[in-house]
Homo-oligomer: A and B are copies of this chain.
Amino acid sequence: MQACFLHKLEGEYIRTMNINIKELKPKITEPKGFFAQGIHCGVKKSKKDLAIIYSKTPALCSAVYTTNVVKAPPLWWCEKLTKNGQKIQAIVVNSGNANACTGERGYNDAVTMAETLSNALNIEKDLVMVTSTGVIGVYLPIEKIKEGIKKSAPLLSDTQEAADNCAEAILTTDTFKKEITIEIDIKGVPVKISGIAKGSGMIHPNMATMLNFITTDINITQEMLDKAFKSNIDDSFNMITVDGETSTNDMAVILANGMAQNPIIDKEDEDFEIFKNALFIVTRELAKDIVKDGEGASKLLECHIKGTKTKNDARILCKAILNSNLVKTAFFGQDANWGRVLSAMGASGVKFNPDSVCIDFKSNKGEISLYKNGLPIEFDEDYALEILKEKEIQILVNMEEGEEQVTGWGCDLSYDYVKINAEYRS
């Protein structure tokens, strides 16, 4: 086995992994016992807008939801199901309408979606998660969705085509599918992990929503699944930013049905570490793809903060840089503007000594030191431009005050961002 996507891992700082991973062709139904489908049911004009993921047997489930105070009704339903570690057998997703800010009627619609799918599959409705993405403040065309669910449930399949349909049907204005499938080895047993995501596409009148669905056939306890999944979230989905905002519908969920039949992982041993690290790659690559497809993004920015006293300080500094409009526009302009990076850090609320900070910018074309221990460094503007012309840029910051570090991802702020977000009416 070899890691075919290792080129993506260049600039890896947080973790070094000594595990064998095989990258497979992306297919959400690659893990044993998973089936999927995606169709057009009429929420959108013509694109696919209804997706189903189904496990042959009820699967362990771990999920995280938006921290936004304004949560969409489908999430009320999902949170109710998953808060007690209950198993999940199916997920139904519609795109084109977020069923958000729709109150009790919105909640009833979400329950109706669960009921409709549970009837079609002949399973309990409490085994069915429901999620929506798209327009806010508009009631779902629930009859169309009911018909769509009834129509697509019999079409559930583990073929590549069905998996592709599913990955496509969760998208809104995403410009490409976000998907990854890998295989790892647990005590000689092949175990697969597959994920699909929908990124920061915008639909009127809406904000960016992030949905992530991960399937795996690993055999693991609920406790260890939660540990592996939730420990990864903070370093992947929670370390990306396009707008600096969470939406009403964000969620990430993993289903583990145990059908790989590996010896069960029930403690934090070596196998657990292998799974956790592999899962981190899945969540991180999906997260990075979401940022790459950020609205109007022309560059992926990877920001690495090291040498802070606490991890939390590193996170705050990293996000302050990646959320700074001044930093984002500077990178769009291919300008080696370390002053904006430093000022964004200074304004973040984290206390630090500016005299111990070092700032470098790096890309495949080279690395340039711009600021070291409180003073600017003279640099070659032409060389800096050559570095910053690349599509993927690293912002490397060393605080020299401690041992903690963190990596986050964001994107630049372009004319197209303004265009997409201001002019989609016209």
Residues of A in contact with B (beta carbons under 8 Å apart): 67-71, 100-103, 136-138, 204-208, 243-248, 324-326, 329-330, 332-333, 335-340, 342-348, 350-352, 354-355, 371, 374-376, 413-415, 417-419, 421-425
Contact = CB atoms under 8 A, between A and B. Distances in A.
Given A68-B343, A325-B244, A339-B206, A330 B422 contact: yes
Nearest to A425: B335
Contacts of A208: 326
Which 4 residue pairs of A and B lie closest in terms of their CB atoms, listed nearest first? A333-B422, A70-B346, A329-B421, A137-B376
A355 to B, nearest CB: 7
Nearest to A209: B343
Contacts of A68: 343, 346-347
A137 B355 CA distance: 13
A338 to B, nearest CB: 7
A324 B262 CA distance: 47
Contacts of A354: 69-70, 101
Nearest to A67: B347
A248 B343 contact: yes
A205 B335 contact: yes
A350 to B, nearest CB: 7
Given A206-B339, A207-B343, A245-B344, 16 more contacts: A67-B347, A68-B343, A68-B347, A205-B336, A205-B339, A205-B340, A206-B340, A208-B326, A245-B326, A325-B413, A326-B421, A329-B421, A329-B422, A330-B421, A333-B421, A414-B422
A101 B375 contact: yes
A423 B337 CA distance: 12
A352 to B, nearest CB: 6
A70 B421 contact: no
A50 to B, nearest CB: 22
Contacts of A332: 418, 422
A339 B208 CA distance: 11
A367 B417 CA distance: 28
A333 B425 contact: yes
